Structures are given as C-alpha cells and as structure tokens.
C-alpha cells in the first residue's frame, strides 16, 4: 500500500494523549538519568547491523551471485520479512500465506501489499482460530503446498499446541514409508518483549517447541538474517516455527540484499570472536549482549565471543562446544524465563561435553520465573547490567 | 499496535463502515465488497455481522424443541425393502453391490479374529467396527479413487473398499518390517499413499482442520492447472464424540469461509467410549451444527448402505459445484463393538441392548436381504464367501506374525528429513549400551539386529 493511503489517523493516539506524552518524556520508556549500562540500544550504530552495502554483501554465507551482483536496500525487519514472503510467493505457486488480519497487510505490516499482488486465493484472512490455522496449514502441506501460517502473537499459539506437537511434528515419523509429510509448513509468530506488552503480548515460548523433536525452531536477529532464514524455513522440508522478535520489527534497520537468498538452518553464527568468555544468545537480547560486551571488555580487559544460535532446535552444538572449549567460560542469555528454558539445555550440554575445560559455572541470564507484568518488564528481561555482571562473574570466578 | 481487539476494530472501521473517497474504494483490497450501512427505513438488520435478518417485534427465542429434529434420509428399511416404491431402482451394478457386500463381510470376519488375537496377547491392541461397516464402505463407494481421505480409526471399511490388502492390514497390526508405518504406530492406525488415505493418528478431531486445508490445496491445485488437475474432494470421517473438540469447530468454520471442497462425515454411533450422546451434546445431534456454519447438511441412516452411498455421491457433487464448498453428513448408527480391546462396554450399557442391535438391524444383513431379493445372493454363496475370506485372513495373519520387526534405526529416522547430529550421537550411545548389556535387550527380532542402528 502506498504510504500516503494508510489511514494513519486511525492508529494514532488522540491529541490529548500525544500532548501528555510530549510533556512527560519518560511516560513510556526512558532510562534512569545516571545510567551508564542500561541505556537504550542505539540501533543506528550497533555492530550487529549492516550499516553499509559492502558490509551486507560481505557475508560469506550469501551465494556468490548475491555477493557480487545484488544491490542492497535499507529495510526494517518487517520489510525484510515482507521481501522474503514476496520472493517465496513469486518463485513457487505452492506457497500460501494466511492468518488473522493478514490480508490488509498484517497488524505488523509483514504481509503488506501481498494480497493485492498475489490474489486472495494465496494470501488471505482466516477465522480467528489458532488451532484452525495450524490444522488447516498442516492439511495444505500434507497435500504438497508450502503454507506460511501466521499466529498473530506467539502468546496465542497455545490453542494450536496440539496440532503442532502431536500432528505437525510427528507427521513424517508416523507416515513412515508412505512418504507423506507436512514439511512445507512454516508457522510465523511475533514474539518477545516490547516494553509494554504485558502478559499476552510479550512471551517467547521457544523452549516449549525445542522440547518437540520434529519441529525446527528459528529466531532471526536482524532484517538481513530474517530474510535469509525465513526463505530457508520455507524451503525446508521440515515444519518450522519461525519466531520474529517484534521489538525489532521497526527498531532494527539495516542494508539487506535485494536478491533472494537463504541462510543455513541449524547453524550458529559467531558474531564476534573472543578468547575469554563465550556469550550465547538469539533474537533481540543479542543487542543487549553486544552492549554489555563492549563495556565488559573495556572494564575487565577481557575478550568475549558472541554467538547467535539462530536455529534454537535442532541447534548447532559443535560451534558452541568448540567455542566454550576455547574460552572455558559460558553465559547463555534469553528473554523467556530461566526455568527449563533454552539456557538449561545449552548449559547442560556444555557441562557434559566441556567439563574439563570449564573454568567457571555456566551462567544463565534470562527472564525470572514469573510473568511479564506490565510495569515490571525492565526488571524482568535480561538487560545490559545483568549480562555485564554475568561476564564479570565468569571472569572473576 | 499491540492490543488485539482495538486493532481489529480499527480494521473493521476502515474496511467496512467508513466510506472513503479515492483509490482505496476502487481497489478491492480487503475482500469487503461494499460499505455496510444501516438505513433508517430498512425492515431488516444491516449491521456487518448479519445483513439479511428481518426485524421482529415479537420476543421469541429460537426453538430447540427435540421434536423439530432434522429428518434421517433412508432408502432401504431394516428388512432390505426399498421404502419409497415410486423411486427409481438403485443405480448400481451387480458387481459393484457384490463388492460392497463382500467388503463389509471381510471387515466383519477380520474383526473378531483380530479381537481374539489381542485377547491371546499376540497383538497389542485392536478396534473393531461392527455395526458401522456400511458407513465406511457405502461412502467410499461414492468417492473417486483420487479423492483424499482423512479418518479417525473406526473406518476399516474405507480401507477395504479402496483396496487395502489383507496383508497390508496385518503388517500394520503386527507392526512388522513390512508395515508402512515402520512399526511406530499402534495397531489400526493404517495409512496408504497409493490409496490417498492419510495415516490415522490417535488425537481426536485433529484431522478435521487438516482436511479443510487439504481440500483447499486440492481446489487451488485444480484452479492453477484446470486442464491437468481434475476437481477432487476430501472426505473426513469422525465420531460424535470427536465433534465436541475445538478442532471440529475450527474445521467447519474455516472450510465454510474458505469454500473448501470437503465432505465431513460424522459417524454418530451413540457412544464415545462410555459417554452416551446425552452427555456429549444437547442439540439436535451433529447435523444441526452444520447449518450454523453455513454448510449444506444431511442426516442419513448409517445402517442403510444405499442411503450413505447416495448422500455421499450428492455431497461430492455439491462440494465441487460453483466456487466449491464443504458438506456435512451425519450417519446415524450404533456401536455394536466395544470401544476397543481395552474396553468392556457392558460396564456402561446392557448386553441386551448390544445384542438387539446386532440382530435386528445391521448394515450387512440389510444389504444381504436386499441382494437375496434381487437374486444376487444366497446361502451357498454366503457360505463359500465366509469360508474363503476366513482362510485368507488367517493366511495373512500367519504370514505377518512371522515377519521380523522393522530396523532399529527407524526409532530415530523420519523425525526430520535428515538425521540430526544429536540423533546420530544418541544412536551410537544406544548401540554402545546394548553392546555393554547384550543380555538385557532382544535385538534379534528386529531386521538387521544391532546393525539396524548403523548409519544408513
């Protein structure tokens, strides 16, 4: 939709509220006046994003043709997801896109203009029923299509849990030699904290899915990653849970290759090499980790390796284990609560396989074992201080 | 941005109620044909949620009087007589009707043999379909072999009619090396790609929204290549108990809104394990719900194979007409069988009740009476068929029981398209454990023994 046609007025706060916010700049989000560590992420300078075309095209995981010939464009995360969906719809007639409120462009604009360009038989709204959406998608996939279903918020995926766990994940296994599967299935869902999402617009239920053999669980950290990983998820012959950190939809912006490309699944990426501590994370907290590492390296004169898991399951154990064998110290960071979270699996695996190399206990910096109460989010999610302090503890142990 | 409900309202506002000038109205962007506005002089409701409802000044709640129950379509009575003598003769060849009879007979002969085998501990589990053979066979006979089928588990007649062979049933039941499911599923969870029948899974009603999606895929594949891909339907079977699951609601609603060519076929046999229908629902069965979703619906006598067949033929035609659509058939029957081999149904219903149904009215004897009257069947043929089928069942039984179990590697394979690095490590760990404690495991009954755990 051309931007001038969006009825923005309908989505904007009334004038009185805008005035109130202007008068009280800390109404929604700000940091304490004397904070040194817990200051907002500056996405315009973070080393995790490609601020130039040459940096974006230097990624060795990109196909040669893309690296040599593709142009790049500055995109936000929701725009790069839109590009990936657009490429998928263009390249393969079997790709379908559906979910709640998806036809007009989606509540996060990820499917903007797709229905008008590809028709309402391939891009469409469903009734408001998550179990219906996923069940319908499994049926499409079992019949040879490549459906990309959207759950409006990861917080609302639970009605579809049975379809995902008992059906999608086990489909190939139980059909055996009949060779029928639902591998064309991708379920996209916005996840993670956004500052004011409270109980049901903040959750990151990835560990509930990493406990399910048969599902692939993917979470990108940036627009260029999202484009390549979503394309790979759609091409994958296994069902994929694709979780999109919604606070990055508009906050993160970087140069993204215009040509289509895929990035490898089940492959972690070393974002920053280091010698003394390995920090392992995925999705939005990587930016928190990056800021914490900058401070920690300066303050403690150490060298920290930062790794993005990217695919949370089946995960790239060798890359993580190799790194920890080198550094001897590990910190795992994620937003969702610590109890039985992804950190537990990563920490236990490190403990089993790097026992003799470890010089400090593996630490988990994660959400506390509670819910995302509206006004408490800053005290709940892993912040720069907690990651910084974990690196400190690891080094000083 | 975040709140779900205000957002939906905002969307509804901009897409439906507010009429805007300019290009938005001419671009059919949101599937909203035109603005819905309540005119003050209108005699009917014009709100977006219901645009054809007449106003009334009489305060009257819609009735749920059981006397208004939806009628049951029947062609042939319990004695095999055609009820409406003025109707055209049954349009069916002697070969076809004989096949249908023999298919029902085969299921009814296989069932007690396998039940017995389970009782002897030779089989872990079994579910028979006595009393409901007509629904499976009758409906399957009305479908094209290309139509996709999703089942619950008590539809052996569908497999039998489509050509699933006795050895295929037995291989699955004994979970041997020839079982298509690689010995992973409980008995009776059959599946066949060649016959376009999806593999059965235990969770109830999950197949319903999947059937809607599959039907949508078939429709789209036809629309994308109308000259090479014929129109096909999906048939989806389920019991009256499964219809209480949320997936039933999801499936019918999405099938209706997306115009999916799917025939939902409910076997209403009066019980969900021990729960009688009175504790399952208070409405007029399952059929009354179809109408609420905007789905063409019929109730048929499930013991009347001709009624099931004719209703399914018509449903298929309706499903493929125009922009295509779902159809609901509720086939009434009685579960003569115990729920499964893990159930003794006399604990919650009388043996007398069961026996009465078995003797007085069942789909097999009904069709037999009709065929005898047509000169298509007699006692001699019945005896010959019974002896022959029993022999064939026992032979397939013995052959399947003698086969080895599938390769041990099947435990790990097919979870993903490829084995993961973690799974390879675990396979090696299991192998090592068995090698350390060889007396504790029986690997020889599996094809390839311990070697079955080697990488493929």
Domains in chain A: ranges and CATH: 53-257 (3.40.50.970), 269-396 (3.40.50.920)
Residue A134 three-state SS:
helix
Which of B11-15, B69-73, B337-341 shows the lowest mean pLDDT across its residues?
A: B11-15
Query: What whole-number distance in Å separates Cα of residue A91 and Cα of residue B345?
Result: 55
Q: What are the chain A neighbours of B16 within 8 Å (beta carbons)?
A: none
What residues have CB less than 8 Å from B118, skipping those under 6 apart? B124, B125, B126, B341
Are A338 and A289 in contact, with CB atoms under 8 Å apart? no
Q: What are the chain B neighbours of A165 within 8 Å (beta carbons)?
A: none
What is the least distance, in Å, from the CA of A36 to any CA of chain B?
30
- Tell me: the pLDDT tens digits for B133-147? 999 999 999 999 999
Average pLDDT value over all residues in chain B:
91
Chain B's closest residue to A100, CA to CA, is: B8
pTM, rounded to two decimals: 0.92
Mutate which: B13, B26, B213, vs A, most A CBs within 10 A:
B213
The residue that leads in pLDDT, A153 or B68, is A153
Cβ-nearest to A131 among B14, B247, B410 = B247
Residue B273 three-state SS:
coil
A127 and B257 within 8 Å at the Cβ level: the answer is yes
B29 and A104 within 8 Å at the Cβ level: the answer is yes
Q: Where do the domains of chain B lie?
A: 67-402, 408-453
Helix (H) or strand (E) holding B140: helix B133-140
The CATH code that applies to domain B67-402 is 3.40.50.970
**pLDDT at position B129:** 92
What is the residue-wise DSSP string for A108-121? TSTTTTHHHHH-TT
User: Is a pLDDT exceeding 70 seen at residue B411?
Assistant: yes
Listed residue (A113, A36, A38, A12) closest to A382, CA to CA: A38
Listed residue (A375, A368, A323, A377) closest to A346, CA to CA: A323
Query: What whole-number distance in Å separates Cα of residue B61 and Cα of residue B168?
Result: 54
Chain A's closest residue to B246, CA to CA, is: A131
User: Is a pLDDT exceeding 50 seen at residue B16?
Assistant: no
140-179 in B: which are within 8 Å (CB) of A?
A: 148, 150, 179
**pLDDT at position B32:** 52
pLDDT tens sequence for chain A (397 residues)? 344 444 444 455 566 666 665 665 554 557 888 999 999 999 999 999 999 999 999 999 999 999 999 999 999 999 999 999 999 999 999 999 999 999 999 999 999 999 999 999 999 999 999 999 999 999 999 999 999 999 999 999 999 999 999 999 999 999 999 999 999 999 999 999 999 999 999 999 999 999 999 999 999 999 999 999 999 999 999 999 999 999 999 999 999 999 999 999 999 999 999 999 999 999 999 999 999 999 999 999 999 999 999 999 999 999 999 999 999 999 999 999 999 999 999 999 999 999 999 999 999 999 999 999 999 999 999 999 999 999 999 999 9
Listed residue (A359, A364, A289, A292) closest to A324, CA to CA: A359
A132 and B209 within 8 Å at the Cβ level: the answer is yes
Is A130 among the residues known to form the active site? yes
- Tell me: the pLDDT tens digits for B193-235? 999 999 999 999 999 999 999 999 999 999 999 999 999 999 9
B148 and A143 within 8 Å at the Cβ level: the answer is yes
Mutate which: A76, A98, A139, A248, vs B, most B CBs within 10 A:
A139
User: Is a pLDDT exceeding 90 seen at residue B456?
Assistant: no
B214 and A93 within 8 Å at the Cβ level: the answer is no
The residue that leads in pLDDT, B454 or A344, is A344
User: Is a pLDDT exceeding 60 seen at residue B179?
Assistant: yes
**pLDDT at position A24:** 59
pLDDT confidence band for B123 (50 / 70 / 90): very high
Give the tokens for residue B440. Answer: 């504790």
Q: What are the chain A neighbours of B214 within 8 Å (beta carbons)?
A: 139-140, 142-143
Residue A146 three-state SS:
strand
């Amino acid at each position: 939709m051309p931007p001038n046609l969006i009825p923005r007025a309908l989505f904007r706060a009334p004038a009185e509220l805008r005035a109130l916010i202007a008068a009280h700049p800390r109404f929604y989000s700000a940091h304490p006046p004397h904070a040194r560590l817990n200051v907002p992420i500056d996405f315009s300078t973070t080393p995790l994003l490609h601020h130039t075309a040459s940096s974006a095209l230097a990624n060795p995981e990109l196909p040669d043709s893309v690296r040599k010939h593709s142009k790049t464009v500055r995109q936000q995360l929701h725009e790069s997801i839109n590009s990936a969906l657009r490429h998928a719809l263009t390249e393969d007639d079997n790709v379908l896109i559906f979910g709640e409120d998806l036809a007009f462009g989606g509540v996060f604009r990820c499917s903007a203009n797709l229905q008008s360009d590809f028709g309402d038989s391939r891009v469409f709204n469903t009734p408001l029923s998550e179990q219906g959406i996923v069940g319908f998608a499994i049926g499409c996939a079992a019949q040879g299509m490549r459906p990309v279903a959207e759950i409006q918020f990861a917080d609302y995926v639970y009605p579809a849990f049975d379809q995902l766990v008992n059906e999608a994940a086990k489909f190939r296994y139980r059909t055996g030699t009949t060779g029928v599967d639902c591998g064309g299935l991708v379920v996209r869902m916005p996840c993670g904290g956004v500052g004011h999402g409270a109980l049901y617009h903040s959750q990151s239920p990835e560990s509930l899915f990493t406990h399910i053999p048969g599902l692939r669980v993917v979470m990108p950290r940036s627009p260029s990653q999202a484009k390549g990983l979503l394309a790979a998820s759609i091409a994958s012959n296994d069902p994929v849970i694709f979780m999109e950190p919604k606070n990055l939809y508009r906050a993160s912006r970087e140069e993204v290759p215009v040509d289509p490309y895929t990035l490898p699944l089940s492959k972690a990426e070393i974002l920053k090499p280091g010698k003394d501590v390995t920090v392992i994370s995925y999705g939005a907290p990587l930016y928190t980790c990056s800021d914490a590492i900058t401070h920690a390296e300066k303050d403690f004169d150490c060298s920290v390796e930062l790794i993005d898991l990217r695919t949370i399951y089946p995960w790239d154990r060798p890359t993580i284990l190799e790194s920890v064998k080198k550094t001897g110290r590990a910190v795992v960071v994620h937003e969702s609560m610590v109890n039985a979270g992804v950190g537990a699996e990563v920490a236990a695996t490190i403990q089993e396989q790097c026992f003799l190399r470890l010089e400090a206990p593996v630490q988990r910096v994660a959400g506390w074992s509670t819910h995302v109460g509206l006004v408490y989010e800053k005290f709940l999610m892993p912040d720069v201080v907690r990651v910084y302090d974990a690196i400190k503890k690891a080094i000083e142990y | 941005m975040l709140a779900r409900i205000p957002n939906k309202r905002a969307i509804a506002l901009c897409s439906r109620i507010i009429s805007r000038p300019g290009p938005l109205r001419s671009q059919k962007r949101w599937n909203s044909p035109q603005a819905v506005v309540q005119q003050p002089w209108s005699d009917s409701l014009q709100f977006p949620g219901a645009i054809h409802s007449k106003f009334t000044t009489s305060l009257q709640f819609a009735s749920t009087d059981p006397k208004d129950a939806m009628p049951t379509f029947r062609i042939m009575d319990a004695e095999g007589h055609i009820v409406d003598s003025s109707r055209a003769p049954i349009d069916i060849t002697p070969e076809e009707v004989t096949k249908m009879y023999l298919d029902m007979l085969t299921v009814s002969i296989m069932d007690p043999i396998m039940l017995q085998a389970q009782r002897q501990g030779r089989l872990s589990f079994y579910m028979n379909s006595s009393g409901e053979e007509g629904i499976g066979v009758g409906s399957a006979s009305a479908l094209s072999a290309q139509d996709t089928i999703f089942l619950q588990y008590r539809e052996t007649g569908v497999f039998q009619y489509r050509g699933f062979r006795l050895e295929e049933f037995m291989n699955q039941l004994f979970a041997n090396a020839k079982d298509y499911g690689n010995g992973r599923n409980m008995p009776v969870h059959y599946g066949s790609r060649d016959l376009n029948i999806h593999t059965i899974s235990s969770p109830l009603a999950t197949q319903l929204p999947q059937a809607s999606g599959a039907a949508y895929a078939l429709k789209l594949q036809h629309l994308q290549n109308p000259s090479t891909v014929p129109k096909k339907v999906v048939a989806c079977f389920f019991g009256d108990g499964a219809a209480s699951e949320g997936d039933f609601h999801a499936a019918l609603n999405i099938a209706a809104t997306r115009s999916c060519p799917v025939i939902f076929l409910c076997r209403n046999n009066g019980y969900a394990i021990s729960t009688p229908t009175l504790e399952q629902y208070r409405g007029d069965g399952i059929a009354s719900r179809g109408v609420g979703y905007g789905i063409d619906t019929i109730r048929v006598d499930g013991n009347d194979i001709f009624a099931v067949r004719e209703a399914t033929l018509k449903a298929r035609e309706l499903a493929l007409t125009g922009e295509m659509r779902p159809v609901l058939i509720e086939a009434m029957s009685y579960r003569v069988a115990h729920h499964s081999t893990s159930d003794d149904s006399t604990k919650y219903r009388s043996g007398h009740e069961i026996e009465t149904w078995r003797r007085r009215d069942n789909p097999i004897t009904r069709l037999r009476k009709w065929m005898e009257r047509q000169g298509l069947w007699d006692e001699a043929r019945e005896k010959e068929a019974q002896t022959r089928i029993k022999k064939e069942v026992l032979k397939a039984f013995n052959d399947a029981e003698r086969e080895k179990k599938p390769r041990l590697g099947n435990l790990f394979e097919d979870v993903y398209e490829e084995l993961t690095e973690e799974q390879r490590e675990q396979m090696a760990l299991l192998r090592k454990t068995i090698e350390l404690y060889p007396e504790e495991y029986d690997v020889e009954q599996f094809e390839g023994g311990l070697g079955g755990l080697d990488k493929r």
